[in-house]
Structure 1
């Protein structure tokens, strides 16, 4: 634990550019799901480039991520992303000090594309290599994007300090995690079945919402924002709280509930636009309401164990939802007693999968002189709690 504390202090001071005599530059790759990403990040918290090539057309065609189609798209897009990342950063490989990639968790075949790109470049150019935990990267993004000081030179109260809570909401995960240090995490709540992101995608398809170039989640959010009034279908069964009082998530029940409402009313052909709007809004309310309830339980658990947390860092693709952001801020205000827990949201473009967060999450290990062997393999299943025992 003492080593973790030392590393945490080093990382946070490095974030303020106090310890470095020169800038360390990382080229990073990410391909854990359906976005092909490459970025260049420096140790003084500069994002020199952040390239994301999405597969929206393929996701819409297949109704979700098709691994075989996704890996072919990654293979076609990764050289383009890498070239663009270096070009936009105005550097070449001679200026790169280290190479990072998403090792896991994620879809195994997709992870292999970023891994192979990183390993090949590292070996050919004799660069140190580090594989990064995807969810750790989300949890640490706010340390990259949040100013440590205010314009008057005072410490920024919004800059996360360990320990803090992290809410990770994406297509693969729904977790509340206690971040004790840069590589020490405790999962307080996780989903027992589907993630919130996957459930939102399925409901978006069930309600036949047009995606266009957006993700299914963004399409659902925009759909719910329409000014038209929603009207409940003729037969409607209200959503019930999911596992009330239990520090765990379950989203398959919400997806099944929408399916049941459609079935009771004879299918989508009997649904008007007003019906679809009403069901979409009530579903979104239930999905976010579950997050609020579990967050309150997590804060109560921290208080019971005398763990003082001052920040909640929100990451993952679902964190880009503006309604969720509003509700989380309101939830934290209502929960505050002696001291306020501050919600910290990275910029929306860094909430979804990206390589900039991967480069930043590797930085503390590079600066400590660590690296991985070129024979490293991906880990499609990888608990964030295992990080403490790995290093």
Structure 2
């Protein structure tokens, strides 16, 4: 059994409410990854199974919802069996079942929703549907130790309020997290997400994936030791939506499209040309994140909101170039100490462990969903504050 363990000392708010260990079997299938995990209320990840669809994505030139849903249906029994086996538990040892209710692709959400509802109903287990972006936002509360091994509070553990930069294939947002269910969107994308834009450019430049996701392949390509050479038709990437709380990434991949057309097609570009374009694109995409983050920091200062942490989550958060640039951005633009917090890479991309943890406060408070609950493909994270919530919570 592979167990992700953290120091046993818990936040006092959570520790005071746990009468016994609570174990959650969690599902996630909002896009193309089939994920099942087992998480406990004492912050242990007993299993975290992820079955990816990179080959399907490459075949279809992106996520094909129908193909992805069929793959989820085929992969789910395997993933559930493996998650329980790795956790060394049977379904009788599971106290609650959680799943991603939304947002996401409707047919993909339905796959794990139906699996979770059926298991919960048959085995008489409580059920909780989780907001996908809330799960990403709270991931660092699971994966970051609350205390150092000396017993002192860990300064890297996020404490509310904190900023979250959500960067994935479906979303690009800067969110102010005030509590486990109170979020304010400070900046969001006008068109497509940074993750989707990166994937498109990776395909346009015909970067070899070799079993990786398109975004990971582009990052790896940019790290090649050879020099790049900009093509004759190259012009610097434009600064998009400057000084506005709005992301826009469609223009960046459109720029690459235009560049290829002016160059006579991808076949006319050398490997050095493609390398130079990939690096310039990656820099332009990250610079847009930096510029909006600087705006958010200034807005927090203006409103006297003393955030102490920036949590960066979502699949694109695994990009090491982005991580280093964001740390530098905090050093440059923050007028008080703000620490960047990055979950381990395997918990930045979509996973079910984050879903299990995001559900925990509701399970511990005895607040559950009915078995008739339906998916919500469109669902703002800000809506969580106005929707019925338990009177108490288990995550501090």
TM-score (structure 2 length as normaliser): 0.94
Give, in whole Å, the separation in 2 of the partners of 1:205 and 1:295: 28
After superposition, the C-alpha distances for 1:240-280 in whole angstroms (9 at most, x for unaligned) are: 21111111100001010111111111111110000000000
Matches within 5 A, 1:52-131: 52-131=50-129
| 1:381 and 2:368 matched | no
Give, in whole Å, the separation in 2 of the partners of 1:18 and 1:142: 21
Structure 2 residue aligned with 1:227: 225
Give, in whole Å, the separation in 1 of the partners of 2:18 and 2:375: 31
Give, in whole Å, the separation in 1 of the partners of 2:319 and 2:253: 18
| 1:369 and 2:366 matched | yes
Q: CA deviation at 1:19?
A: 3.4
Give, in whole Å, the separation in 1 of the partners of 2:233 and 2:74: 48
Matches within 5 A, 1:1-391: 12-13=11-12, 17-337=15-335, 339-391=336-388
Q: CA deviation at 1:152?
A: 1.6
Give, in whole Å, the separation in 2 of the partners of 1:222 and 1:89: 33
Give, in whole Å, the separation in 2 of the partners of 1:236 and 1:63: 25
Conserved in 1, the CA contact under 8 Å of 2:245 and 2:295?
Answer: yes
Q: CA deviation at 1:306?
A: 1.0
233-242 or 306-315, larger mean C-alpha shift: 233-242
Conserved in 1, the CA contact under 8 Å of 2:18 and 2:364?
Answer: no
Structure 2 residue aligned with 1:6: none
Give, in whole Å, the separation in 1 of the partners of 2:194 and 2:265: 23
After superposition, the C-alpha distances for 1:271-323 in whole angstroms (9 at most, x for unaligned) are: 00000000000000000000000000001001111111000001100000011
SS of the residue aligned with 1:390?
coil
Q: CA deviation at 1:333?
A: 1.1
Q: CA deviation at 1:18?
A: 4.5
Aligned length: 379
Give, in whole Å, the separation in 1 of the partners of 2:267 and 2:111: 42
Conserved in 2, the CA contact under 8 Å of 1:14 and 1:43?
Answer: no
Conserved in 2, the CA contact under 8 Å of 1:14 and 1:44?
Answer: no
Conserved in 2, the CA contact under 8 Å of 1:14 and 1:20?
Answer: no
| Structure 1 unmatched ranges of 5 or more | 1-10
Instruction: Flag the 1:100–1:49 CA change in 2: closer, same or farther, 3 A.
Output: same
Structure 1 residue aligned with 2:392: none
Give, in whole Å, the separation in 2 of the partners of 1:174 and 1:334: 22
Q: CA deviation at 1:12?
A: 4.8
Conserved in 2, the CA contact under 8 Å of 1:12 and 1:143?
Answer: no
Give, in whole Å, the separation in 2 of the partners of 1:365 and 1:19: 12
Structure 2 residue aligned with 1:4: none
Q: CA deviation at 1:13?
A: 3.4
After superposition, the C-alpha distances for 1:205-264 in whole angstroms (9 at most, x for unaligned) are: 000001121000000000000001000001112112111111110000101011111111
Give, in whole Å, the separation in 2 of the partners of 1:122 and 1:253: 45
Give, in whole Å, the separation in 1 of the partners of 2:52 and 2:149: 36
Give, in whole Å, the separation in 2 of the partners of 1:283 and 1:248: 19
Q: CA deviation at 1:389?
A: 1.1
| Structure 2 unmatched ranges of 5 or more | 1-9, 389-396
Give, in whole Å, the separation in 2 of the partners of 1:218 and 1:57: 14
Give, in whole Å, the separation in 2 of the partners of 1:191 and 1:13: 37
**4+ residue stretches of structure 1 with deviation over 3 A?**
11-15
